Amino acid sequence: MQLSLDLALTALVEEVHKQRPRKYVSVADVLACIEHESHGVSTFNSHDQQFRDNLAAARKITGLSDAQIVAAVTINQGPLIGKLSKFRCEPGYYTWAKGFGAKFTPEEKLLLSCSFGLGQKMARWLLTGLQQKEYMPTIRQFMSSQKTQIMYCIGDLDQLMVGTKGDKTLAFARYNAGPGAQVGGATYKGYGTQVAAGAKKFEELLKGRGT
């Protein structure tokens, strides 16, 4: 894969990265993860093939119409208002969301079961420790803010790297597949090694830029 620096995205990652010191994760690590998860773009165009694929998958999982899904994943605040958040509905999380019954609408249950944005953070894991009344405002704010998406990506990656004692390939694998990913496993050999190689390339690009 041919990688290049998006100057605006790189500047935003650097800004967020500087706000809090991290033990392991670098700007290059974050750029590589974001590139792999979302190609460095937090929104969909309605003509994107990936959008059409994810829309069809969400329709199959939830039974919602295309119009209902589009309305649910349309950003309703901030500078990205009116754009389609980059989303992916996961069936296991939809099963969890259905457990709330009438407390949430069908569209809200869709949001509870999706990952969003630059780092494709699962909405479910944004909500730890929050009251249910805070769930939708929190998800909506996350969908609308690239800065918040980067902040979570940095924090999640660094926590994983602490847990793997600096084994970044394993940390990347666990970012994608959870704690069950192990050294030498399929996700390690696939996702983990690919993102680690991307991080090395981004490090070279940053150094070449004079960073």
For 93-112, how does the pLDDT look when each residue is reduced to its tens digit (9 = 90+)?
999 999 999 999 999 999 99
Residue at 135 is within a domain: yes
Residue 87 in tokens: 């989303």
Predicted pLDDT of residue 142: 98
Residue at 211 is within a domain: no
What is the rounded (10 degree) CA torsion for 77, 125, 100, 43? 40
- Give the whole-angstrom CA distance, residue 201 versus residue 29: 10
Same domain, 139 and 122: yes
- Give the whole-angstrom CA distance, residue 192 versus residue 211: 25
- List, for residues 174-211, the tens digit of each pLDDT value: 999 999 999 999 999 999 999 999 999 999 999 998 54
Tens digit of each residue's pLDDT, the chain (211 residues): 578 889 999 999 999 999 987 889 999 999 999 999 999 999 999 999 999 999 999 999 999 999 999 999 999 999 999 999 999 999 999 999 999 999 999 999 999 999 999 999 999 999 999 999 999 999 999 999 999 999 999 999 999 999 999 899 999 999 999 999 999 999 999 999 999 999 999 999 999 985 4
- Cβ neighbours of residue 101 closer than 8 Å, sequence gap 6 or more: none
Same domain, 106 and 136: yes
Same domain, 131 and 47: yes
Q: How far is CA 6 from CA 10, 39, 40, 82, 175, in A?
A: 6, 10, 8, 23, 23
- Give the whole-angstrom CA distance, residue 169 versus residue 111: 30
Q: Which residues pair with 87 in a beta bridge?
A: 116
Using only C-alpha atoms, the chain has a radius of gyration, in whole angstroms, of 17
Same domain, 131 and 166: no
- Give the whole-angstrom CA distance, residue 32 versus residue 99: 35
- Residue type (1 letter), 173: A
User: In the Cβ-directed half-sphere of 139, how many Cα atoms lie within 13 Å?
Assistant: 28
Same domain, 61 and 136: yes
Same domain, 82 and 155: no
Nearest alpha-carbon partner for 171 in 185, 184, 160? 160
Same domain, 26 and 113: no
Indicate the helix (H) or strand (E) that contains 42. none
Cβ of 186: how many Cβ atoms within 10 Å? 12
Nearest alpha-carbon partner for 89 in 58, 62, 68? 58
Residue 4 in tokens: 């290049």
Range of the domain at 159: 7-38+147-204
Predicted pLDDT of residue 5: 87
Residue at 2 is within a domain: no
Predicted pLDDT of residue 1: 57
Is beta strand 84-85 parallel, antiparallel or unpaired with respect to 121-122?
unpaired
